[in-house]
């Protein structure tokens, strides 16, 4: 522990602070806040009540107004700190509010009604985690059905993406044919075409194939990605051609060369593409929203949209379920992140 502390607290100026030390700490702290601040705010807000979410300025921790059970009243009453004319602060419970005047009582002596201007009181706040934001969607929301659909779409799309993109990359990296560079350039050019431009042609194709309102209609149009082909091709170019020539001399078929030699050697790049594909498919919203109109086929991202009505948006449920939907992506990244550096470095990407 002392070595870690000495490493973190070491300074270029020795015992004193150098200006580069100050700049480095400000840069690192700013980067941490910028990267993890939104995630911390999301996690904290997912435990807030609707009233706490509407407060301004917002807070990270889920604060609520404390309540107390007062004799003679059925429901618990909210507590407020009220400053008296003599400067003494009292804690009173609000019975009702009429305009700018609040009718309040002392919880210990509830017989007398005290009228207080709302500007002269401050709520007694305490931390309270609204766990029902997580439990209610599981009880009254088809979460597990949408989770199963999302898992099916993500897993099948990722597997098909790895196979199709690796096949294309193998052909473009290890076969010599006329127009190979032009084909690769054409594939890379599709990176500049946004999805919104090809939505209508894709929809027409899916409808003609009878895949409308089908999970396969969500999966198939997105399996071929130019990013995946380029990443895998660049990595496969580092595999020696002599290794493949030796396999052909041993009478290995092209499929055996691809399956038993090239794919195992391309495992780091495949892991990187798998991470990208899982993130893409899991977070995809626009295309499933267009293809799927039956509620039982919704993915998680489309299903969460049911909490956003025309006149009312249930942000507390949306934030809580957003945290839940982030967990699979985070777990995939944690278990496969060691391949990212190796795969990207081997493919020559920056």
**Tens digit of pLDDT per residue, the chain (350 long)?**
577 667 666 766 566 677 777 788 888 889 988 888 888 888 888 888 887 888 777 777 888 888 888 887 888 888 888 877 666 788 888 888 888 888 888 888 777 888 888 887 888 888 888 888 888 887 777 788 888 999 999 999 999 999 999 999 999 999 988 888 899 999 888 888 888 888 888 889 998 988 888 999 999 988 888 999 998 998 899 888 898 999 999 898 999 999 999 999 898 889 889 888 988 898 888 899 899 888 889 998 888 887 776 567 778 888 888 888 888 878 877 776 666 666 555 544 44
In a domain? residue 137: yes
- 240 shares its domain with 299: yes
In a domain? residue 214: yes
- 280 shares its domain with 226: yes
Q: Are 70 and 105 in contact (CB under 8 A)?
A: yes
In a domain? residue 322: yes
- 137 shares its domain with 22: no
- Give the residue numbers spanning the domain of 106: 63-127
Paired tokens of 234 = 């660049």
pLDDT at position 344, please?
A: 54
Report the number of distinct structural domains present in the chain.
3
pLDDT at position 127, please?
A: 84
| Residue at which a domain ends, from 127, 156, 183 | 127
Give the torsion sign (CA, 201, 202, 203, 205).
positive
Paired tokens of 206 = 């899916």
- 122 shares its domain with 137: no
In a domain? residue 58: no
Paired tokens of 122 = 């401050």
| Residue at which a domain ends, from 75, 96, 127 | 127
* Number of H-type helices and E-type strands within the chain: 17, 8
- 256 shares its domain with 280: yes
Paired tokens of 302 = 């489309």
In a domain? residue 52: no
Q: Comparing C-alpha atoms, which of 308, 318, 299, 332 is closest to residue 147?
A: 299
pLDDT at position 257, please?
A: 92
Q: Comparing C-alpha atoms, which of 101, 103, 124, 122 is closest to residue 114?
A: 103
226: left (phi over 0), alpha (psi -120 to 50) or beta: alpha
Residue with tokens 């098909």: 160
In a domain? residue 248: yes
Residue with tokens 């609000």: 94
- 40 shares its domain with 96: no
Chain centroid to Cα 349, Å, comes to 24
In a domain? residue 120: yes
In a domain? residue 57: no
- 176 shares its domain with 265: yes
- 273 shares its domain with 211: yes
Dihedral (Cα; 269, 174, 183, 344), 10-degree rounding: 20
| Residue at which a domain ends, from 127, 148, 172 | 127
């Amino acid at each position: 522990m002392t070595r870690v502390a000495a490493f973190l607290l070491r300074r270029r100026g020795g015992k004193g602070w150098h200006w580069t030390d100050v700049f480095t700490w400000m840069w690192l702290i700013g980067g941490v806040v910028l990267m993890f601040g939104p995630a911390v705010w999301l996690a904290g807000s997912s435990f807030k009540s609707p009233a706490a979410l509407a407060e301004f300025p917002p807070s990270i921790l889920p604060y609520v107004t404390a309540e107390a059970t007062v004799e003679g009243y059925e429901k618990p009453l909210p507590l407020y700190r009220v400053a008296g004319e003599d400067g003494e602060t009292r804690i009173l419970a609000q019975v009702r509010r009429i305009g700018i005047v609040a009718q309040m009582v002392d919880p210990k002596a509830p017989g007398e009604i005290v009228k207080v201007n709302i500007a002269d009181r401050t709520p007694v706040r305490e931390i309270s985690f609204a766990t029902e934001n997580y439990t209610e969607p599981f009880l009254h929301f088809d979460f597990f059905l949408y989770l199963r659909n999302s898992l099916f779409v993500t897993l099948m799309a990722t597997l098909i993406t790895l196979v199709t993109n690796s096949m294309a990359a193998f052909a473009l990296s290890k076969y010599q044919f006329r127009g190979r560079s032009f084909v690769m350039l054409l594939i890379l050019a599709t990176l500049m075409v946004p999805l919104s431009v090809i939505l209508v042609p894709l929809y027409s194709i899916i409808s003609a194939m009878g895949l409308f309102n089908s999970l396969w209609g969500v999966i198939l149009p997105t399996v071929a990605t130019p990013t995946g082909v380029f990443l895998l091709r660049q990595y496969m170019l580092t595999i020696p051609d002599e290794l493949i020539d030796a396999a052909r001399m041993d009478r290995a078929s092209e499929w055996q060369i691809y399956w038993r030699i090239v794919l195992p050697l391309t495992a780091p790049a495949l892991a990187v593409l798998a991470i990208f594909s899982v993130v893409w498919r899991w977070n995809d919203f626009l295309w499933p929203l267009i293809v799927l109109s039956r509620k039982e086929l919704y993915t998680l991202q489309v299903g969460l949209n049911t909490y956003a009505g025309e006149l009312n948006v249930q942000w507390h449920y949306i934030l809580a379920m957003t945290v839940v939907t982030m967990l699979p992506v985070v777990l995939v990244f944690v278990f496969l992140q060691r391949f990212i550096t190796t795969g990207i470095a081997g493919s020559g990407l920056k």
